[in-house]
Structure 1
Amino acid sequence: MTVPLARPPLVLASASPRRLELLARIGVVPDRVLPVDLDETPRKAELPRELAARLARAKAEAARAEAPEALVLAADTVVGVGRRILGKPADAAEARRFLELMSGRRHRVMTGVCLIRPDGKRSERLVTTILAFQRLTPQQVALHLDSGEWQGVAGGYQIQKRAEAWVRFLSGSHSNVVGLPLFETAQLLRGAGWLRP
């Protein structure tokens, strides 16, 4: 009779409460949360998808340096309109500019997901969701800014809150827009033998 190998501890390299909530939906509770503080400034001419993948990898590698015995999961979500990257707004004025840019048109939400095993093997996914907002009225924008829901999130909105009422089109993963594509994340964890089939 073979004894199953013990699973390594799972470390989530993120301070996002949304990612913890999403993981809990699929029965995944990290053994440790290890936020990583990185400079998230895009490089010159860097595309949104390149930034999401690079930051997810960098977060995973930084957390692995502190927890080499663990299975490290990291993610980074970027909102893009064309080649333009909409990060976390610095203030309400920037959040307003982002909303006005996305109003009535399509944008993309990209999340890079990176998993590093204790042996150093790295697995990655990049997931893109396409959305279109209705044309936003000045009143909608003002209410959104007053709510504070724009703070600390890429693009200045949270789809699981009031902004969901603006979405007239969505193609792809809804959980990706919240901050972690669950299907792809579960695949990575199964591939590493951490999540049972």
Structure 2
Amino acid sequence: MGNIPGMQKGPFRNRSPLVLASGSPRRRELLSDLGLTFDVHPSPLEEPLPGPGESPASYVLRMAELKTLDVAARFRGATIIGADTAVVLGDRIMGKPRSRLDALEMLTTLSGATHQVVSGFCVVLPDGKTVSEAVSTDVDMRVSTEGELMSYIETGEPMDKAGAYAIQGVGTFLVTAIRGSYTNVVGLPVARVLEVLTATGCVEPRMPSDG
């Protein structure tokens, strides 16, 4: 896929080639909003299920590292960013629904409850060093009727989303409050990832003279 230009007036610019190891349009938009330019090359690897007793944070970190390192092997000398997001209620890790009935079951379980959205990100630096971390956000959901949930599912939005909802889309009506990073719920903890990118010199503020 060709280079994705950042916003012309975005506040940052990357100092080295940047690759997003994810096909998520949400993650693509979050990086583009910063003003960064990057290529998109999702990893073709299939995601294994969580291991017995594996914590949500360990699982999303393992998935993020698996996909990012796979892409990094093909783009040496570039900065590679990958991530994986899971919706967690108690000890249950919710991925993307397999069917509409599965989506209804997930949304019914989440209705009226507080769950966590855990995103693991992995950054492979141009020198090959790796930085990875998991970030968690608490999300409170309103009590929704089965009719409301079925109508939401009919929009099609839940079918490719972890936990069967999108906080940045139609599914915003389901959420009453969050505690933590909003962009983490979208799929990438932007503030923390940006800290890593600026601290390592991969990204810097865009000066007025840069245009």
Q: Would the TM-score normalized by the shorter structure come out above 0.5? A: yes
Note the alpha carbon deviations across 1:110-134, whole angstroms, 9 max, x for none. 1111111122211122111100101
Say yes or no: does 1:64 pair with 2:77.
Answer: no
C-alpha deviation, 1:34, in angstroms: 0.9
Q: Are the aligned partners of 2:103 and 2:158 in contact in 1 as well (CA < 8 Å)?
A: yes
Note the alpha carbon deviations across 1:95-120, whole angstroms, 9 max, x for none. 11110110100110011111111222
User: Match of 1:33?
Assistant: 40
Say yes or no: does 1:52 pair with 2:52.
Answer: no
C-alpha deviation, 1:39, in angstroms: 2.7
1:140-179 pair list within 5 angstroms: 140-179=148-187
1:101-180 pair list within 5 angstroms: 101-180=109-188
Say yes or no: does 1:192 pair with 2:200.
Answer: yes
AA of the residue aligned to 1:172: G
RMSD after superposition: 1.3
Note the alpha carbon deviations across 1:140-160, whole angstroms, 9 max, x for none. 111111000111111111001
Gaps of 5+ in 1: 1-5
AA of the residue aligned to 2:131: S
Note the alpha carbon deviations across 1:7-35, whole angstroms, 9 max, x for none. 331111001111010111211221x1110
Say yes or no: does 1:9 pair with 2:17.
Answer: yes
- Give percent identity, aligned residues only: 37
Q: How many residues align?
A: 191
Structure 1: how far apart are the matches of 2:37 and 2:30?
Answer: 10
C-alpha deviation, 1:37, in angstroms: 2.2
User: Match of 2:7?
Assistant: none
Gaps of 5+ in 2: 1-13, 206-211
User: Match of 2:209?
Assistant: none
C-alpha deviation, 1:59, in angstroms: 1.1
Note the alpha carbon deviations across 1:32-78, whole angstroms, 9 max, x for none. 11101233221222221111111111111101111112111111111
- Return the TM-score normalized by structure 1: 0.92
Note the alpha carbon deviations across 1:155-190, whole angstroms, 9 max, x for none. 111001122122122100111111111101111110
